[in-house]
């Protein structure tokens, strides 16, 4: 099979020779790599011109969709507009829920729609029409489909009123929960949570709104008797970015898990618990969780002996709250204050930016050289005085 190589000047000829190159995963990777580094618009313009007649076919193939996504991500406004126009026409039934795409195309198509919406600089009618179509759909359809989920997240970021409407919709919450339970949809669900919970713009009120929605939708999975737990990536996002109300509730629920001490040995969950303890405003709930985690001295000693960054982060979070240190003292029968502070220092040193760490080492060496030079200088002066 022919592929679009890393030489963009040959793309048009390759497409003309055989359109099979548009359905190759290698072609998709090469296009992404070239366009992401290109310093000229020429390559994406020429590629669009070459593939435009075949976009309806490309929409039916995940690799073809990936190439279109690269054009939207790195293309001009005109490119975005042209791709959107053909996508609207070719996917009319899919966008109106009259037809489902081939399963392997669902996630790639969802990414393409989200990238189109992301291009706010494109105010063309085609993009505006796509927004209107999506907003006209029932919220449960948007939150229950991997085709629409990421685009919905982008709309929620742009439009707070729309976000409020979605987050207050009970059917949407149930649809999101059902989608969450499908293992093959894991990546798209995690990406949705990343978009609405860890926004670049840090729209705090919107993050709070969305974190409550996600947590409430998955609430039953956090209860003590649940046999299934949420994806650890989603739990991490809720712990690190969720609103205080969500953090408070998570601390309470995790302390009721019968196997929470086992989860503590997992790097990911050690970070989760560290975030929860650090951000939790209710000391009493945090103390309950601590006493469940460290029921005897051996439990604490095991974590203290660990060199892992995640475990040190947990110990550092405990060290920051005197109430936690006092509670641990009761359990252990002795104060762990010094040990916790030492762990906190180790954690900060491990996670110190490399540039800063290098700078500190160099400064220490310079100070040492100056100190030695000063000592030698003083010694020389003493010897000179003696000779005089």
- List the end-to-end C-alpha distance of the chain, in Å, as a whole number: 91
Owner of token pair 């991490």: 236
Q: What is the pLDDT of residue 388?
A: 47
Alpha-carbon torsion 212, 218, 220, 225, what sign? negative
Environment class of 40 (CB within 10 Å of its CB; exposed 0-12, middle 13-18, buried 19+):
exposed
Q: Using an 8 Å Cβ cutoff, are 253 and 216 in contact?
A: no
- DSSP class of 237: H
Residues contacting 103, CB < 8 A, separation 6+: none
Query: 313: closest CA among 334, 335, 340?
Result: 340
Q: Tokens 């290098």, residue?
A: 358
User: Mean pLDDT, the chain, as a whole number?
Assistant: 90
Residue 117's nearest CA partner among 144, 89, 156, 146 is 156
Does 154 score more than 80 pLDDT? yes
Q: What does the pLDDT average to over 136-149?
A: 96
Closest CA to 245 of 274, 285, 293: 285
Is residue 370 assigned to a domain?
Answer: yes
Residue 290, pLDDT score: 93
Sign of torsion over alpha carbons 46, 52, 53, 59: positive
pLDDT digits (tens, 9 = 90+) for 196-243: 998 665 567 889 999 999 999 999 999 999 999 999 999 999 999 999
The 10s digit of each residue's pLDDT in 334-376 is: 888 888 888 888 888 877 666 655 665 666 777 777 776 666 5
| Predicted pLDDT at 368 | 73
pLDDT of 12-31, one tens digit each? Answer: 999 999 999 999 999 999 99
Q: What is the mean pLDDT of residues 133-154?
A: 96
Model pLDDT for residues 258-303, shown as the tens digit of each residue:
999 899 888 999 999 999 999 999 899 999 999 999 988 888 888 8
- Count CB-CB contacts under 10 A for residue 204: 11
Residue 381 lies in a domain: yes
Domain assignment of residue 382, yes or no: yes
Q: Percentage of the chain surpassing pLDDT 70?
A: 91
Contact 233, 196 (CB under 8 A): no
**364 within domain boundaries:** yes
**Residues 111-115: what's their mean pLDDT?**
98
Kindly state whether residue 169 falls inside one of the protein's structural domains: no
Q: Span 126-153, mean pLDDT?
A: 96
| CB-CB contact of 173 with 217 (8 Å) | yes
Predicted model pTM: 0.86
Report residue 97's pLDDT band, with 50, 70 and 90 as the boundaries: confident
Domain-embedded: residue 350: no
Q: Which of 90-94, 152-156, 293-297, 363-367 has the highest mean pLDDT?
A: 152-156
Is residue 387 in a domain?
yes
> DSSP per residue over 330-344, as a string?
HHHSS--HHHHHHHH
Any idea of the CA torsion for 300, 305, 310, 312, to the nearest 10 degrees?
Answer: 80
- Does the pLDDT at position 246 exceed 90? yes
User: What pLDDT score does 98 carry?
Assistant: 82
pLDDT in tens, 173-185: 999 999 999 999 9
CA dihedral 217, 223, 227, 232 (to 10 degrees): 60
Q: How far apart are CA 15 and CA 12, in angstroms?
A: 5
Backbone angles phi, psi at 223, to 5 degrees: -75, 160
In the predicted model, is pLDDT for residue 384 greater than 60?
A: no
| Domain extent for 384 | 358-388
Q: Under DSSP, is residue 98 helix (H, G, I), strand (E, B) or coil?
A: coil
Please state the domain count of the chain: 1
Give the pLDDT confidence score for residue 265 in this predicted structure.
87
Asked if residue 35 belongs to a domain, the reply is no
Q: What is the mean pLDDT of residues 308-313?
A: 88
């Amino acid at each position: 099979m022919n592929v679009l190589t890393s030489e963009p000047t040959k793309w048009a000829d390759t497409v003309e020779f055989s359109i099979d190159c548009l359905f190759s995963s290698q072609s998709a990777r090469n296009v992404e790599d070239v366009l992401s580094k290109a310093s000229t618009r020429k390559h994406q313009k020429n590629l669009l011109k070459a593939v435009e007649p075949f976009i309806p076919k490309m929409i039916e193939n995940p690799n073809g969709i990936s190439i279109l996504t690269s054009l939207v991500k790195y293309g001009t406004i005109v490119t975005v507009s042209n791709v959107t126009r053909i996508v609207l026409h070719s996917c009319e039934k899919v966008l109106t829920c009259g037809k489902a795409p081939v399963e392997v195309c669902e996630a790639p198509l969802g990414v393409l729609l989200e990238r189109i919406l992301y291009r706010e600089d494109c105010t063309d009618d085609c993009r505006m029409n796509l927004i209107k179509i999506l907003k006209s759909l029932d919220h449960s359809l948007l939150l229950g489909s991997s085709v629409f989920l990421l685009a919905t997240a982008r709309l929620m970021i742009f439009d707070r009123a729309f976000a409020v409407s979605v987050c207050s919709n009970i059917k949407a919450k149930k649809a999101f929960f059902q989608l969450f339970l499908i293992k093959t949809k894991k990546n798209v669900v995690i990406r949705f949570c990343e978009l609405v919970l860890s926004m670049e713009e840090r729209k705090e009120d919107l993050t709070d709104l969305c974190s409550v929605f996600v947590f409430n939708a998955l609430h039953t999975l956090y209860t003590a008797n649940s046999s299934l737990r949420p994806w650890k990536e989603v739990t991490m996002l809720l712990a690190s970015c969720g609103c205080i109300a969500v953090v408070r509730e998570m601390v309470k629920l995790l302390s009721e898990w019968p196997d929470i001490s086992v989860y503590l040995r997992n790097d990911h969950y050690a970070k989760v618990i560290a975030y929860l303890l650090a951000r939790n405003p209710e000391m009493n709930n945090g103390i309950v969780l601590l006493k469940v985690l460290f029921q005897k001295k051996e439990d604490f000693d095991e974590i203290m002996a660990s060199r892992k960054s995640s475990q040190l982060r947990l110990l550092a979070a405990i060290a920051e709250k005197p109430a936690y240190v006092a509670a641990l003292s009761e359990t252990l029968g002795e104060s762990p204050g010094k040990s916790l502070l030492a762990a906190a220092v180790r954690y900060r040193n491990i996670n110190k930016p490399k540039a800063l760490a290098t700078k500190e080492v160099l400064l220490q060496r310079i100070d040492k050289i100056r100190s030695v030079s000063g000592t030698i200088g003083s010694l020389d002066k003493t010897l000179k005085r003696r000779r005089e």
